[in-house]
Amino acid sequence: MAVDIGVVQEALKGAAPILLATLGAVIGQRAGVLNLGLEGVVYLSAAVAAAAGPPWGYPLAVAVGTLYNLLYYLLVNDLALNQILMGFAFTMMAYGVGSQIARPAVGKPIEKPLVQGVEIYLAAVLVAVALHLLLRTRLGVAIKASGDDPASLDLMGVDVYRIRKIAGALEGALASSAGAYLVLIYYGSWSDQLVMGWGTLAVVTAMISLWSPLLAAGASIIPSLFISLAYTLQRLTEASPHLLNTVPYLASIAVLVLAQLAVRKTRLRALAPRWLARPYIREERT
């Protein structure tokens, strides 16, 4: 069977931002926070990058995205507001603010650096390896413990709130790098709909990869492959581009279900952070 090299190369190029955002989601979910606001962080940072343009767009986008994510963590972590709904609200607010910020950039091409895809993906894989190693350090163990058994961690004298905020800062930095990459390197342009859905896909990919940075490196290719396939099919077939755009989301749901069914009755099930989406309130410690 002939493999279209262009599709594979595009998939690797697209997998890099998904991998970065997925690594962010892995860290956050490992710490016990299900952050649907990650979609908002990716969108907002992409908008900032588009508005500022290269070269300052990238660091500025990462700074704004990290702060935005930290604000979310302050509300859901310290104030115990509902993680899922706040994430949803943060995404909606980021759509509104981001589209407004980047309005002057609509339709204007952004000068892209020359990247082929493979090297960018390899760089992202290196980040995954670094995070894998981080999860084996004292800080990494604390992050994992805050998602598995925060009460015990607290009893050992570790500030769970602080650990979760560190995880939030890492998550924000990684997700906002993904957003800036999408606009400055992957698309090289901005429109309101361009970045929609990439952050949510990353939340799903983190679950598919069983919260392992190394598995995330492989899992991030799945949605990216379907996104690239959708573009290729748009050129080659007469199928509606609108329907083809739904494929990456539907495929991600399908893979998530398959992954969950596959690990359901195995020991791998224990990898899921037991406190995922549950706020930790010290005074309720039992």
Positions touching another protein (CB under 8 A) are 34, 36, 75, 78-82, 84-86, 88-90, 92-93, 95-97, 99-100, 196-197, 200-201, 203-204, 207, 240, 242-243, 245-246, 249-250, 252-253, 256-257, 260-261, 264, 277, 281-284
User: Measuring CA to CA, which residue among 178, 233, 168 is closest to residue 200?
Assistant: 178
Q: How many CA atoms lie within 13 A of 214 on its CB side?
A: 6
- Of the pair 12, 255, the CB lying nearest another protein is at 255
List CB contacts of 21: < 8 A, sequence separation 6 or more: 38, 42, 174, 175, 178, 179, 198, 199, 201, 202
- Of the pair 115, 247, the CB lying nearest another protein is at 247
Smallest distance, Å, CB 37 to another protein?
A: 11
- Of the pair 189, 260, the CB lying nearest another protein is at 260
Smallest distance, Å, CB 93 to another protein?
A: 4
Smallest distance, Å, CB 198 to another protein?
A: 10
- Of the pair 100, 137, the CB lying nearest another protein is at 100
- Of the pair 51, 184, the CB lying nearest another protein is at 51
Smallest distance, Å, CB 279 to another protein?
A: 9
Give residue 50's identity as a one-letter amino acid code.
A
Smallest distance, Å, CB 113 to another protein?
A: 29
Residues in the chain: 286
Smallest distance, Å, CB 91 to another protein?
A: 8
The dihedrals phi and psi of 76, each to the nearest 5 degrees, come to: -85, -20
Smallest distance, Å, CB 92 to another protein?
A: 5
Smallest distance, Å, CB 135 to another protein?
A: 22
- Of the pair 111, 283, the CB lying nearest another protein is at 283
User: Measuring CA to CA, which residue among 30, 14, 8 is closest to residue 163?
Assistant: 30
Instruction: Give the distance from CA 75 to its chain's centroid.
Output: 19
Q: Residue for token digits 């560190």?
A: 166
- Of the pair 6, 96, the CB lying nearest another protein is at 96
- Of the pair 80, 118, the CB lying nearest another protein is at 80
